[in-house]
């Protein structure tokens, strides 16, 4: 173990939340980590990236017995990365994430260029995405209740990511035109995608519940709503407008870790993920599937139905069509659609 730090997913989650968001611990953080956090926010990195980078930088410092990074260079960085790859046996993506965090620390915060680092980014493995059949998707949806049923219908019917789904606001949905405006998706990009008709009843019900919470919050004086960047200053009364409210809102008022304001945030992504895991298990599906599998299934079934790849690319929000091309490989069943010789042999013998 690394100075008492447990890298298991459960403990890393607890450690991250406690260390990054608890204001008592926040006041005890070293100045260096405060500088890293400030630099990340100035450059508009996401909250998840901020937590991840802080974690890896802290782990790097603890691995070298709390030495200051200014006193370390390429040799110490290489030793830490080697320890992750050889001893901890982390995945390639985790290894690359750790390297990116350390490079950010030296280049952007300490203004030190690591010119002779004996390490390269690990090559990303070429994995084909898991895809459910239409019957399997139907089985999964039949084992879900609202609001998770509506959310799953949006993941599969509109190709949304989990984060994009839970962050939908009332004004982002146009039921009359069957459109969803995805704001600030991956890569900080906006896009328009289709609103599946099957999801409309559940969506209307979720909006009604959100309105009830909205009226309750207005009566209790909770006007604050989370807005990205400077929109909070541009629209100071946004919290009093129902259009800015989250469709899938949380049941309880919470405190924002940055502004320290109290308000109603959106639902946690882990609640939907847990509901999906239960539904997949009840459906008797043994594939390694989850929420994101519905997005993969959306893209594959769209291409299978004859839609051109550019249309699917726009609906998914991919910058490069090569990213969308991976779903064409999923469609090539059985070795690019060829008939196995043993099947031909069996058909000949039976004939």
CA–chain centroid gap for 201, Å, is: 26
State what percent of residues in the chain have pLDDT above 70. Answer: 83
Residues with active-site annotation:
161, 186, 292, 295, 318, 327
Could you give the CA distance from residue 221 to residue 307 in angstroms, rounded to a whole number? 49
More confident residue, 185 or 113: 113
pLDDT in tens, 121-142: 666 667 788 899 999 999 999 9
The Cα 101–Cα 38 span in angstroms is: 14
* Pick from 82-86, 172-176, 232-236, 320-324: least confident: 232-236
User: Residue 124: what pLDDT?
Assistant: 63
For the chain, list the domains and their CATH numbers.
9-109 (1.10.150.130), 126-334 (1.10.443.10)
Q: For residue 27, is pLDDT > 80?
A: no
Q: Tell me: the pLDDT tens digits for 56-94?
A: 999 999 999 988 999 888 888 888 988 888 888 888 888
- Copy the structure tokens of residue 113: 């260029």
SS3 string, 258-311, reads CCCCEECCECCHHHHHHHHHHHHHHCCCCCCCCHHHHHHHHHHHHHHCCCCHHH
Which stretch of DSSP H or E encloses residue 280?
helix 269-282
Contact (Cβ atoms closer than 8 angstroms) between residue 312 and residue 327: yes
Taking the CA atoms of the chain, what radius of gyration do you get in angstroms? 24
Check pLDDT > 90 for residue 248: yes
Mean pLDDT of 312-338: 77
Non-local CB neighbours of 181 within 8 Å, separated by 6+ positions = 172, 173, 174, 190, 191, 192
- The answer, yes or no, to whether residue 10 has pLDDT greater than 50, is no
337 or 216, higher pLDDT: 216
Residue 350 is predicted with a pLDDT of: 55
User: What's the whole-number average pLDDT of the chain?
Assistant: 83
Q: 48: Cβ–Cβ under 8 A, 6 or more apart, which residues?
A: none
Whether the pTM exceeds 0.85: the reply is no
More confident residue, 98 or 349: 98
Encode 187-196: b = buried (16+ Cβ within 10 Å), e = exposed: eeeebebebb
pLDDT tier, 256 (very low <50, low <70, confident <90, very high otherwise): confident
Residues 301 and 134 sit within 8 Å (Cβ to Cβ) = yes
Confidence band for 327, pLDDT divided at 50, 70 and 90 = confident
At residue 340 the predicted structure's pLDDT band, cuts being 50, 70 and 90, is: low
Question: What string of DSSP letters covers 336-348?
Answer: HHPPPHHHHHHHH
> What pLDDT was estimated at residue 92?
83
| Mean pLDDT within 146-155 | 95
Look at the chain and count its residues. 351
User: 97: closest CA among 115, 81, 79?
Assistant: 81
The residue whose two tokens read 């004086």 is 221
Mean pLDDT score, 291-303: 92
């Amino acid at each position: 173990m690394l100075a008492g730090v447990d890298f298991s997913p459960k403990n890393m989650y607890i450690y991250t939340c406690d260390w990054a968001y608890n204001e008592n611990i926040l006041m005890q953080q070293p100045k260096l980590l405060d500088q890293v956090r400030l630099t990340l926010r100035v450059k508009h990195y996401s909250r998840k990236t901020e937590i991840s980078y802080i974690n890896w930088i802290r782990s790097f410092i603890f691995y070298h017995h709390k030495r200051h990074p200014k006193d370390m260079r390429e040799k110490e960085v290489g030793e830490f990365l080697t320890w992750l790859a050889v001893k901890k046996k982390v995945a390639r993506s985790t290894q690359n994430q750790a390297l990116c965090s350390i490079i950010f620390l030296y280049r952007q915060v300490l203004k030190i260029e690591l010119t002779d680092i004996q390490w390269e980014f690990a090559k990303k493995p070429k994995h084909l995405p898991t895809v459910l059949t239409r019957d399997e998707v139907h089985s999964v949806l039949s084992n879900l209740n609202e609001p998770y049923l509506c959310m799953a219908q949006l993941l599969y019917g509109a190709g949304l990511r989990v984060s994009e789904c839970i962050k939908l606001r009332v004004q982002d949905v146009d039921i009359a035109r069957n459109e969803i405006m995805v704001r600030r998706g991956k890569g900080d990009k906006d896009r328009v995608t289709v609103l599946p008709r099957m999801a409309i009843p559940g969506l209307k019900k979720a909006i009604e519940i959100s309105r009830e919470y909205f009226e309750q919050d207005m009566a209790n004086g909770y006007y604050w709503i989370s807005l990205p960047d400077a929109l909070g200053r541009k629209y100071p009364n946004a919290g009093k407008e129902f259009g800015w409210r989250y469709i899938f809102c949380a049941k309880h008022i919470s405190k924002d870790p940055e502004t320290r304001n109290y308000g109603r945030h959106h639902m946690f992504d882990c609640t939907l993920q847990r509901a999906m895991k239960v539904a997949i298990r009840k459906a008797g599906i043994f594939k390694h599937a989850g929420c994101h599998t519905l997005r993969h299934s959306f893209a594959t079934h769209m291409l299978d139905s004859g839609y051109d790849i550019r249309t699917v690319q726009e609906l998914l929000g991919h910058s490069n069509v090569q990213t969308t091309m991976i779903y064409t490989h999923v469609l090539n069943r059985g070795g690019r659609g060829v008939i196995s010789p043993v099947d031909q042999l069996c058909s000949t013998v039976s004939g």
